[in-house]
Structure formats: C-alpha cells, structure tokens
Chains A and B, each alone.
Chain A
Amino acid sequence: MTDVPILSVKDLQKSFGAVTAAKDINVDIPAGQVVGVIGANGAGKTTFVNMVTGYLKPSGGTIRFRGRDITGIAPRLAVHQGLTRSFQVSQVFMTLSVRQNLLSALALARRKGGALLRPIAGPELLAECDAIMARYGLTDVAEHEASALSQGSRKLLDIAMAVVSGPRMLLLDEPTSGVAAEEKFAIMDTVMSALKASGTTVLFIEHDMEIVERYVDRVLAFFSGEVICDAPPARALIDPKVRELVIGDTRAPTAPTAATGQAEAAYA
C-alpha cells in the first residue's frame, strides 16, 4: 500500500429533488484494499457507486482517482482510467452466448488503431477468452445464451466482463444478491481470488454480513446518504449505531420500503 489513495472522495453530495442520497461523503481508499459497503436499501450505496463510476453526476464534491479529478466524467472515460464496476442487476448482452459476451468485451478492451474495422476473433483473443472463462468457472456454459444462465453464472459473467479491461479498481454492486445461498461463497471465492491475483482494489456492496466479515479489510456503513461508520469489520460489525441502523434493517424484507422506494424512484 502506498500513501496516495487510489480513490479519494471529498464532500460528495447528491440530491434528487428533496431527497438527499449522499451527504458529505469523505472516503480515501488506498490501492489494494478490499472495502465492503453496507447499509439498508435507500441508504445511498448504489448512488455512491453510480457517482464514482460516472453514471450519475454529483451535486457537489470531488472524486479523484489515481490523483486525477474524475468528478462527473462519462463512464467510458472512467473505464479508460482503470475504474470500472459490476451491477446489481447483471448488465450482460442477453441474446449473445457467454463466449460472444466475453469476446465483445475483449475486442473493445484491446481495440486500437483500425482493430474495430477487422473481423472479431484472432487466436490470441480466443485463447484469452478461454482463460477468463476457466478462471470464472464459465467454461461449461460457454455456448449458452446469457438469458439462459443461472443468476450466479450471470453475475460471474457480469464481473468477468468488467475485469477484462484490467481495471485498477473494481466496484461490485451486490455481487451475491439474487444468488442461491449455497452459491454465494463459491462466487465470492472465485471473484476475490481472481482479483487478488491481479492486485485490483475492490469495493463491494453487500447485505450478507458473513461475506463482509470474511472478505473485507474495511467496512463503510451507509445510512440515509451518510457514512456513519468507517472501520475494520471486527469493529464496524459490533458498532451499536451500525447494529441498530444497518444490520437491524437487513433482517427486514429486501423489497424497498414504501417511503424510500418511492422517493428514490420518483426522482431518479
């Protein structure tokens, strides 16, 4: 770890009309760290990820990545800087096979010069694609259409496509949501070991405290747009405020509560 943080967020603000989704968020993340973000639905976790990766423009504050100001830049430019993400609802090409999905991702990541004008394929690209599928346990479903995959496999594909560009930092939005309980640890093991090998900095949103406890170096607990606790998991998970405002809530059904759900929806 170096002293200069890879990601540095200062006074980050976001409001949708009257609803505040982010209030003075200040976070520095050193390179190589694994950070877990917890919080109830509507606490502003996804909004935070959306702002950092350029999907939403913040109402105020700055985001610096590897020393450069990336506040409000387009997602693709953030990707060019080495910052990318996965999605709570897997964003894959539903009508393409797993292999075609990854080949498309690879072709875009490796494009330079007139590469886009030549047909896809080429032996190196195919070999790389095979290697990725093996690493993420997707070899058996290589020819399946993405729409036919299990939730777990689709999540893995989603993450694998994000990783193809070789990011310095990866933000995972609920990598295990919607995945069967017995699959959760298998997925996290696969993903985290692959990312550890490449030294990627990881931030992931997670509702399952067992997973948080097992994989992260540091916990950020969100409550109504604010970071209410920033500590190692051993300390964060027993913090009374976190227990009351975050973990207490996670036992409630996962559907958004009427108030936050509507407010979020109405202004998004």
Chain B
Amino acid sequence: MQLLFTILLDGLVYASYLFIVAAGLTIIFGVMKILNVAHGGFYAWGAYTAAYFIGAASEMGLPDWFAFLIIAGSALAVGIVLGLLIERIVLRRLYDHEEILIVLATFGVFLILEDLILLIFGVNPYFAYQPMVALGSVEMGGIFRDVYSLTLFGVALSVAAGSWWMLTRTRWGKLITAVIHDREMALIVGINVRRLFVVTFCAGAVLGALGGAYIAPTVSVAPGFAVDVIVLSFAVVVIGGMGSIPGALIGALLVGLLRALAVHKLPELELFVIFLVMSAVLIVRPEGLFAPAKARKI
C-alpha cells in the first residue's frame, strides 16, 4: 500500500514536470508544425541558469524565497532570448522547407546549445538545493516527501489552466486555434502568422526552460542531463497527440506513472516500457490520442 502510494506520488511529480516541458513542445508543434528538438536545449539552459544564480544568490546571503524569483526569471530570460534568437536565425529561413529538414535543423541547434553549456558552465555539476531544503518535507500516509516537489503540482496545474484559458478565452488563443486548424486559411483571412509564430515559439521555449529551472534544485545539473527528459517528453507529446494540450496532460500522466511503476517494480524495463507504449499508441492511433482536427486537403 505504501509502495503504491510512493509510486503514485513519484509518478505525479514526474508527470508534472514532464507536462510543463511537453506543453511547450506541443504548442510549438501545433502552431508551427515544428518538432522542436532544441527544446532539450531550452530545458538544459533553464536548469543551468537557475542553478547558477540560486547558488550565487545563496552566497550573497539573499533569502531563500528569492530562489523562486530566480527560477521564474531564468525561465523567462532563457526562453525569450533563445526563442527569439533561434526563431530569427534558424527557423525563419526554413518555414517553407520540409518538416523533416526543420527537425534536423533544430537537432543541430540542440547539439550547439549542449556544447555551449559545456563551454560556458564547464563539465562539473551544479547543485542548488537551497529552495528544497528551505521548504522542508512533510509526512503523507507514512512516507516523507519534500514540499518543493509537491509545489510542482501547483506549477503544472497553473500551466495547464493558464494555457487552457489562453487558448479558449483570449484573442491570441483563438488565432492560435485557427492556425492549428488550417494554416493556409489563417493566412488568407489575414492573421499575422509570422508574429504568431514568434510569440508561440518564445512561449513554448519559456515552458521548456521553466521545466529545467524548476527541476534544477532537485537534481545535480550536469552535462547531458537533458537528453532523458527530452526523449520522454517527445513520447508524451506523441502519445497525447502532437499539438494538443489535454493530450500532453494525459500523456504526461501516463508516462510519469508508468515510469514510476517501472522504477519501483521492474527497474530493468524503464525506458523500454515507455517506448513500447509510444509504439503501441502510434500503431493504434497514428495521430496520438488527442490529435486536433485538421482541415481537409482535396
């Protein structure tokens, strides 16, 4: 029973930050039709920036709550700066290219971002446990859990609610929905698709960076730590249906819980299970579980 509870809790925590990262990925895909491999770079940069400044702030004796400002600030700064740069320098040249080539270009960007981290932050891991230590831990049903991880639920839920509100209740959201549905028609009726792309890409990048920045205090931020997450959030997005926020939520829960189950019960099957589920979903429902409707072509 306790084990079940642990698995559930672990799974939900993991699902929360997978969702934050995957939401960014899926928004970018939905609007721009770009499978953004560089998302892993946003994640890693968010984590490194947050870890670096949390460490610096702690040395300067700033209060612990300041770390949360740093996390939010890192996510915004990294997302907007990298988002703008990459959209302008790389993506803008490629919008009329084949999808696959754009994926490869973002893969190139990912590799560059990874090595830039090595060159700037070095190869040694960064630790930023201060916020996690500051919040302490609580006992729930006989198991101890750090409060910091639990706040992740709040962040994930806010992201879910916020993006739902954005997409259904605001003008921008309706434009985005129109573009997701039929990009050509959106162009014809005069939606400024280019500007929408820039905003979407930056928003997605901020979410990717936020995932990294928020996870930073709970792990050792070391080279290559983004790879796992990015591969799994791809699985999340593919399972849920590329371009669907509710899909990302369901996908994240599924992958998060499965992974927690595998880690505790069958550690040898961890990666295997998730890719197996992804293959199964793709085979049964090629577009994912919740793919948005598409305009007809002929």
Contacts and interface: CB of A to CB of B under 8 A. Distances in A.
A91 B297 CA distance: 11
A26 interface: no
B195 interface: no
A18 interface: no
B257 to A, nearest CB: 32
15 contacts: A46-B298, A55-B298, A87-B298, A88-B298, A91-B298, A264-B296, A265-B181, A265-B182, A265-B185, A265-B295, A266-B181, A266-B293, A267-B293, A268-B294, A268-B296
Contacts of A89: 298
Interface of B: 181-182, 185, 293-296, 298
Interface in A81-110: 87-89, 91
A33 B293 CA distance: 39
B25 to A, nearest CB: 25
B122 to A, nearest CB: 48
A223 B35 CA distance: 41
Nearest to B181: A265
A91 B298 CA distance: 9
Interface residues of A, number: 12
Given A50-B298, A265-B181, A265-B182, 4 more contacts: A264-B296, A265-B295, A267-B293, A268-B295
Contacts of A46: 298
Contacts of A87: 298
Contacts of B181: 265-266
A98 to B, nearest CB: 21
- Going nearest first, the 5 A-B pairs with the smallest beta carbon separation are A268-B296, A265-B295, A266-B293, A87-B298, A265-B296
A50 B293 CA distance: 19
Contacts of A91: 298
Interface string A52-91: 0001000000000000000000000000000000011101
**B181, B293, B295, B296, most chain A CB atoms within 10 A:** B296
A265 B234 CA distance: 28
Nearest to B296: A268
Interface string A33-58: 00000000000001000100001000
A267 B292 CA distance: 11
A50 B296 CA distance: 12
A16 to B, nearest CB: 9
A218 B219 CA distance: 75
A88 B298 CA distance: 7
A94 B75 CA distance: 44
A266 B180 CA distance: 12
Contacts of A265: 181-182, 185, 293, 295-296
Contacts of B298: 46, 50, 55, 87-89, 91
